[in-house]
């Protein structure tokens, strides 16, 4: 759970630098959802980064659910709820 509006902007740059695809969005309750697609090591690096968050973000919890790899995304972007 992340209660920080700017939280989803900085992950876009981080995800792109890792070559990841997918999306990130703010939920109405203030939490943030993300789907990551890419090499396992890059996904793990991104998850580690998300656990810390950008400066001034308060990360209370990161929940990870793995799925079988599929190529659904062409880039990494902000998605509306």
Residues serving a catalytic function are 8, 26
Query: 22 has which bridge partners?
Result: 36, 76
């Amino acid at each position: 759970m992340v209660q920080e509006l700017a939280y989803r902007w900085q992950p876009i740059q981080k995800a792109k630098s890792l070559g990841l695809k997918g999306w990130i969005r703010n939920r109405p309750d203030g939490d943030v959802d993300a789907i990551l697609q890419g090499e396992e090591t890059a996904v793990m690096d991104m998850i580690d980064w998300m656990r810390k968050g950008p400066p001034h973000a308060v990360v209370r919890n990161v929940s990870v659910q793995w799925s079988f790899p599929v190529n659904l995304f062409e880039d990494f972007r902000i998605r509306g709820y």
